[in-house]
Structure 1
Amino acid sequence: MKQKAHKRSPVVNRAVAAATALLLGAGGMVAANVYASAGTSQQGGVPQERTDRRVQSARSTLTVDCPEVVDRLTRVPRKARREVDRNLALLDTQVVQAYQRLARSRTQAANDPAFVRNAILGPLEDKRRATIGRIVTVLDRFTARPTGLDALARCAVRGGGGPRPQDGERTPAPGQDGGRDQGGGRDQGGDPGQGRNGNGPSPDDFVDIRKVRPNFSEPENGEDGSTGTFTTDCGRNENGKFNSDNVIAAPGVSNGAHHMHDYVGNQDTNAFSTNESLAAAETTCANPEDLSTHYWPVVRLRNGVQEQDANVPGGGIEGNVGEIQTPASVTLTFRGNPDAPVTAMPRFLRIITGDAKSFTNGDANANASWSCTGFEDRQLRDKYPLCPRGSQLVRTFRFQNCWDGRNTDSANHRTHVAFANEDGGCPDGFTPIPQLVQRITYDLPRGVTFAVDSFPEQLHKPITDHSDFVNVMSDDLMNEVVTCVNEGRNCE
């Protein structure tokens, strides 16, 4: 196969080498094929084409579904944070490894529910129980001992198109919830990248954008709204900086994301970055005072082309296959609040928008959206748009625009920030800050399947798209952003 070369930073090579020893031989994935009907719902101001969970799949990939422990950790003392984060990342790795075993054993899994329980879920839950126990022990040293976390060790195997089991329900047997893969199906577009090493996407994950009704408009500004914008130019990742780390969600852990990220802005960003190293780094941003880091999962063509990460964790070993696409454009804009003036973001504020595990977690935090140029009044969350000739694929990430006024991060990386409500008002105790909007476009060839990188068990579903931001602007530059936005000017 053709080899496509990308420049890769030394940190990526070190991380890849360290993680390869853990996951080599993880095996192939399972091709997904899910059929469902669609309705429309709305969350956070961006409508969503939602899969009707009542319609069960006739043919569907099995996946591993475990509760999110981090969602229960609303208070983690700073002294305990690093050890807790390492154990949370280990929980993710355990799910990935269980999914990979399930994928390698799909015939047994589809025909023998006892195999699923004894060979996959039982060992996984034992490992999770031990890891959760370590988290409880760490927290017990510094704060009140958390209760009820043991129950989160329980996991389920379900069909890729089926509903998530509710608390108290038994684990569905493969084949009883649409989980049995009948075989014989053709992947979307005959995609050669989906076969032995593929785990999605499904044909039903795509929709012709021309068939989607207009469903989105920007909120109207009130009398006291801040109507300006500030745009920063940090390039398109032309230099090819990739890694499968996540410095926000899994600091200190190589391959903590289990999928590859594009990076623009700060060139130090990896699992081992600190505030000090970020502040001392080089940047791709045109303004040298903007050392902020922006990163999101790469988009790949599922065309059978092998990337340099084809045989390493975060890449092909974990089902992230195909040719990485460099964005045609990346626009990074800070916008105001429709209801009030904004205040400065603190330096090193960390924000995650979207949820990398929305397919199994549910759509509560699924706020990334997909569209096509010329059709951006039609925004999708759980479908990939098929764009007509001459139209580019568009990903849009709208970040939380309210801050608690105290913390640059939180235990679950979410509760220190929030989205304003429809009229622009922030929740009690929160103050408006400039809203970062990342708009990324791609020129994709017609007739070739594409997919976003994801955790293996998330099956490359479009609803799992997400993006991360660390503010490393100088105080002077951030104050310039605030002034520009509050005065209603459009600045660059």
Structure 2
Amino acid sequence: MKRRQTSFPVLTSRPARIAMAAAVLAATGALTVTFVSSGGNGTADAATSLAQFVPIQNVRPNVRHPRPTAAASTGRFTVNCGTNGNGKFSPDNPVAQPGIKNGAEHVHDFVGNLAITADSSDADLDASGTTCRNGDRSSYFWPVVRIDRTVRSGGEVQRALSETQPAVVCPSVRDRLPAVPVRVRARVDRLLADLDRLEAAANERMTASRGRIDAGINSRVLGSLRTRRAILIKDIGAAVTNTGGERPGMVSLVDCDVSYDGVHAAMHGTAHAASIRAGQVANPQIQCPTVRDKLPGVPDQALAEVNRNLDELDRQISEAGERLVTSRGQGGAAVVDNAVLGPLRAKRVAALDRIATAIGRQGTRPQGLDALAPCTLNPAPAAPATPGGAAALPEPQGPDFELPGNTGGIVRPAKVLIEYRGNPVSKVVPMPKFLRTLTGDAKPTSRGPANARATWTCSGFGDRLSDKYPICPAGRAVQRVHDFPGCWDGKNIDSDNHRRHVAFADKTTGACPQGFRAIPQLRITISYNIPRSVQAKGQYALDSFPEENHNPFSDHNDFINVNSARTMQRITTCINTGKRCS
């Protein structure tokens, strides 16, 4: 597994030059982003400005629904997966950043699948337990909302950003490969080295935007990198498959991102330590050494057995992680060691020995694999970056799972409504199992606002959505409404940018784009009972990437479909026959 790291040290301070992709944002009229600072728990963490809040009555009605035709699918299927009462919080994003630990740099609520992490395979997800009452093992997750009553103005985030070198971060292909046949090991290694060189070259190009955010540069760098990575990753897959290996299926690893980790690193020393308090309400995560990237070329006769055991190692971690979730509160560190980490280590020792034995029957037995057996829980926060070196991001800490810039008490949703809906002009076809999709954009500042979506409203005001935090009338809940794409290309469960395989229906007609089919359209509505005084003072905010500084327009939601074929057919039939089901 790969953890995000700062690729460059924090630079010498100079006057703040924060270009918030102003030209792009202004051209769309979508949003003006302002960086301010809060005193999160007495620290210099980031927070919101009152300019980012709006009374919901001041938002004009803007939600329009296309009129259904005779061929419409008007049913609705509802799933109850709870409100994350078991505390499955994580800074992973398995859809947008697979294989990158702490890739989100902010914390998500997870409901549904209990085992999911950044490294989970489809088989792991399919074997998991779930919080959904109908047995749905799908994973639904979104950024948490926090309350911090100590908001104050200031320039800490501006200063930290002005000292930060943006860096390109890519999912690790090495960590996700199946067993590589010995005949192509050298070729695969050369292609992996080419991937490394591409990432390094992209980082060199990012020096043009040091100390500021430039969505134009980011788009050009990432677009070129995506195209070239796709070619190399396809070549790696072909090399493995054409010599008898297992088909890798690595399209999810093509896309890279621009990271502003240096903002966290610069604020870490004073901001993070002060926010840690005794106790832990969120579940820790298991960290195990990677194995796939440590293996030599595998003889043809051993490929199947090695791959079975690599998959078994993944399942072991997922099962142990699920055990942490379901056993929360049943004991302390000794119980975790004896009931989770100890058994996990024993299982890993056995699987690693089987891998070494299988390779050794036909070639040279690899040595030292047993050293990869021990696993730990989340390590302590890493030290900040220093000149001449890089530091890993700190792990979330304390009872509120806080990160630098994302502090305050987590607000548990009062209600989470998960609905699968129809299409106004056609029947829907079942979603494919393991379809990955997302809605909104976590980085409208650094990537531009094209994929961002207004999501905020109040209960009783479903005719309007805002890109600002709402201030609701007394007795009304703060709500986030996340509509996912309702059209699918009919072939792929993911794509190189995690978006191209799905699409939104036309806003006016409801029709899917040419070549796409209507699928059950997912809507997730999350309701919060937030004191009105907190709303009026601008004291609640979304967890976010550091450069977004709690921008309400950065709201987003992610989904992996792990419904069984039978359940998905039930959902489809319900919707196509105009019924209300659950």
- TM-score bracket, normalised by the shorter chain, equals 0.5 to 0.7
Separation in 2 of the partners of 1:481 and 1:367? 26
C-alpha change, 1:165 and 1:473, in structure 2 (3 Å) is closer
SS at match of 2:437: strand
Q: Aligned pair 1:109/2:199, yes or no?
A: no
Give how far 1:196 is off: 3.8
Separation in 1 of the partners of 2:569 and 2:25? 48
SS at match of 2:100: coil
Residue identity in the other structure for 1:301: I
Contact map agreement 1:404 1:417 (CA 8 A) in 2: yes
Partner of 1:47: none
Residue identity in the other structure for 2:486: N
Separation in 1 of the partners of 2:575 and 2:33? 50
Partner of 2:511: 425
What is the correspondence of 1:254-293 to structure 2 with a 5 Å cutoff?
254-288=101-135, 290-293=136-139
SS at match of 1:371: strand
Give how far 1:391 is off: 0.8
Q: Aligned pair 1:457/2:547, yes or no?
A: yes
Separation in 2 of the partners of 1:366 and 1:424? 19
Larger RCO (CA under 8 A, 6+ residues apart): 2
Bigger shift: 385-394 or 356-365?
356-365
C-alpha change, 1:455 and 1:474, in structure 2 (3 Å) is same
Give how far 1:376 is off: 1.9
Separation in 1 of the partners of 2:449 and 2:434? 27
* Match for residue 201 of structure 1 among 48, 54, 59: 48
Residue identity in the other structure for 1:376: G
* Match for residue 249 of structure 1 among 93, 96, 112: 96
SS at match of 1:343: coil
* Match for residue 18 of structure 2 among 150, 158, 167: 158
Partner of 1:60: none
Q: CA RMSD in A?
A: 2.8
Partner of 1:375: 461
* Match for residue 432 of structure 2 among 333, 337, 346: 346
**Max Rg structure:** 2
Partner of 2:531: 445
Separation in 2 of the partners of 1:197 and 1:351? 35
Give how far 1:353 is off: 0.6
Partner of 2:57: 210
Partner of 1:436: 522
SS at match of 2:574: helix
Higher helix share: 2
Give how far 1:306 is off: 5.9
> Which sections of structure 1, spanning at least 5 residues, go unmatched?
1-14, 16-85, 112-156, 167-176
Partner of 1:51: none
Contact map agreement 2:485 2:505 (CA 8 A) in 1: yes
Give how far 1:219 is off: 2.5
C-alpha change, 1:165 and 1:201, in structure 2 (3 Å) is closer
Contact map agreement 2:443 2:554 (CA 8 A) in 1: yes
Give how far 1:110 is off: 2.4
SS at match of 1:366: coil
Count of equivalent residues: 332
Contact map agreement 1:356 1:465 (CA 8 A) in 2: yes
Separation in 1 of the partners of 2:69 and 2:18? 47
CA displacement, residues 216-245 of structure 1 (integer Å, 9 cap, x when unaligned): 133321111100000011001011110100
The alignment's TM-score, normalised by the length of structure 1, stands at 0.63
Give how far 1:279 is off: 0.4
Partner of 2:574: 484
Contact map agreement 1:197 1:321 (CA 8 A) in 2: no
Residue identity in the other structure for 1:329: K
* Match for residue 337 of structure 1 among 409, 413, 423: 423
Residue identity in the other structure for 2:148: R
Partner of 1:64: none
Partner of 1:313: 395
SS at match of 1:210: helix
SS at match of 2:470: strand
Separation in 1 of the partners of 2:52 and 2:411? 19
Contact map agreement 2:33 2:551 (CA 8 A) in 1: no
Q: Aligned pair 1:358/2:461, yes or no?
A: no
C-alpha change, 1:237 and 1:254, in structure 2 (3 Å) is same
Give how far 1:94 is off: 4.1
The alignment's TM-score, normalised by the length of structure 2, stands at 0.53
C-alpha change, 1:274 and 1:232, in structure 2 (3 Å) is same
Partner of 2:67: 220
Q: Aligned pair 1:393/2:478, yes or no?
A: yes
CA displacement, residues 284-337 of structure 1 (integer Å, 9 cap, x when unaligned): 00012x100000000000136867589643554431100001100000000000
SS at match of 1:478: helix
Give how far 1:178 is off: 11
C-alpha change, 1:313 and 1:413, in structure 2 (3 Å) is same
Separation in 1 of the partners of 2:72 and 2:130? 32
C-alpha change, 1:215 and 1:248, in structure 2 (3 Å) is same
Contact map agreement 1:303 1:323 (CA 8 A) in 2: no
C-alpha change, 1:109 and 1:375, in structure 2 (3 Å) is farther
Separation in 1 of the partners of 2:276 and 2:76? 40
Give how far 1:456 is off: 0.7
Separation in 2 of the partners of 1:420 and 1:367? 14
SS at match of 1:248: coil
Separation in 2 of the partners of 1:271 and 1:197? 30
Give how far 1:200 is off: 2.7
C-alpha change, 1:161 and 1:348, in structure 2 (3 Å) is closer
SS at match of 1:318: coil
Residue identity in the other structure for 1:207: V
SS at match of 2:455: strand
C-alpha change, 1:254 and 1:211, in structure 2 (3 Å) is same
Contact map agreement 1:259 1:318 (CA 8 A) in 2: no
Separation in 2 of the partners of 1:435 and 1:178? 31
Percent of matched pairs sharing the same residue: 44
Give how far 1:165 is off: 10
Q: Aligned pair 1:302/2:144, yes or no?
A: no
What is the correspondence of 1:407-426 to structure 2 with a 5 Å cutoff?
407-421=492-506, 422-426=508-512
Contact map agreement 1:358 1:365 (CA 8 A) in 2: yes
Give how far 1:247 is off: 1.0
